[in-house]
Every structure is written in structure tokens, then in C-alpha cells.
Amino acid sequence: MKLLSLVLLIIIALGVAYCIRSLRALHQKVSSRSERTTREIAASTKELKAEVWQSYRQSEAMQQLLSLLKFSAPVPPTRSWAASPDLLLTLAQLVRTHNPKLVVELGSGVSTLVVAKAGAKKVISIDHSSEFADITRGVLKEHKVRGVEIRVAQLKAHISGVDWYDTGVLKDLKRIDLLIVDGPPGSKNPEARMPARAELINKLSPKAIIVIDDVNREGERKLAESFAKALPNHVLTIYPHEKGTAVISPK
């Protein structure tokens, strides 16, 4: 009888030990999941706050832009593949401050309208797409903007190894006061815009300003640094815009 009782006690003790171990394991698992869930919620909250703040910043910039330039017709959509309002506001301020005689833009769109409305005397915009070029022409006509020439330059194999604008379209360009680099599309190839330095560096005026969009990406940042290195009398400034903006201007 004593032996049976002892065996039962041992079995009970083992059962209790097993239950305790299982409960501990379950607690650790639940705690681990809880911690992971907490981290995920914190990360999502941080991301949401950043998106809300970015949207506010862009809305603020757009309101200032609309007030500054007083558009007489609807403004095309911004952000995404198009220029963001913070970049557009910076372009408008640069034009109004420096009064460039010639603005050359790689990649047409809403930025073409903004630069022209801001008072640039002459704007030449290069686009690889005849479709996008026609859309921009339509927008300019709707806003009754003059002094803008949209040139279509098909993308061709460049000596650098990437596809870039047909350089024949650029031959007559000289003394560029403001160069805006926002093309060709660079999302799939980080080197897509690199030829801009080699092809246009000698076409700039001594006091030219170069603006490069998308410098949050490695390729565009590299291009901005390359321009700055080639222009020792200029200084590179990176603006914390939605996509990152580089401005290379005289010291």
C-alpha cells in the first residue's frame, strides 16, 4: 500500500512538474508573441506618423505654391512619378530669386509648368516620351504659358553603357542657367541619369544651378556628388524633401 502511494505521489509530482513546465513554455510563447506584436504595432505607428507628416509637409508646400504662382487652370497631379510639391516650391523659389535666362529640364511635366509660371525667360524641356511631351504641351496651353519648348529625344545606347537621350537634340544648348535633372526614368537602373554630367557640364553658364530630384536613391546621389566635384566653385546642398533634392549652386 505504501509502495502504491509512493508511486502515485511520484506520478502526481511528475504530472505537476510537466504542467508547470508546459505553463512556463506557454507563457514564454505568449510573451514572445506579445513582444513581437508590440514591436510590430510600434513600427506601424512610426511608419503611419511619418506618412501623415509627409502628407502634411506636401500639402503645406502645395498651398504655398498655389498662392505664390496663382494658377488660372487646374494643376496636374503631383508626387508618385511626378515631382512632389516640396521640389516644385524650391524650383519656383530658385527661378524667382535667380531669374535664369535659360532653363533646361530633363523630364517634362508639372515642373515645366511651375518653372515657366515662376518667370523663367526660356525653358527647354527634354522628354523621351512623345506621349508625355504632348500631355505637357496641353497643360502649358491650358495655362496659356509661353516661352517653353518641349523636345522629344528617344532613348539610345550611350557610351556610358546605359540608355540615355539622343544627344543630337542637345547640340545647340549653351549657357544653361538652371539645369533640372528628373529624367530619364531611374527607378530600374541607378545609373540611368549619370550621362547628364558628361553631356551637359560644358553647356552650363558659370553661375549655373543644378537641381537633381530623387537623391534619396543611390544613383541620383552619386550624380549630384559627381556634378559638385566637377564644379569646384559650387557647393552641394541636400534638401530633406520627400524624394530628396540636391541643389548644386555657386558658393
- Tell me the per-residue pLDDT of 98-146, one tens digit each, with 9 for 90 and over: 999 999 999 999 999 999 999 999 999 999 999 999 999 999 999 999 8
Averaged over 53-77, what is the pLDDT? Answer: 87
For 225-251, the pLDDT digits (tens) are: 999 999 999 999 999 999 999 999 999
137-145 contacts: CB < 8 A, separation 24 or more?
139/76, 139/110, 139/112, 139/113, 140/112, 140/113, 140/116, 142/73, 142/74, 143/71, 143/72, 143/73, 143/113, 143/117, 144/72, 145/113, 145/116, 145/117
> Residues of 155-170 as b/e, b for ≥16 C-beta within 10 angstroms?
beebeeebbbbeeeeb
- pLDDT value of position 55: 79
Confidence band (pLDDT; 50, 70, 90) for 8? very low
Confidence band (pLDDT; 50, 70, 90) for 15? low
User: How distant, in Å, are the alpha carbons of 63, 120, 198 from that of 100?
Assistant: 24, 6, 22
- pLDDT value of position 19: 59
Phi, psi dihedrals of residue 148, rounded to the nearest 5° = -120, 130
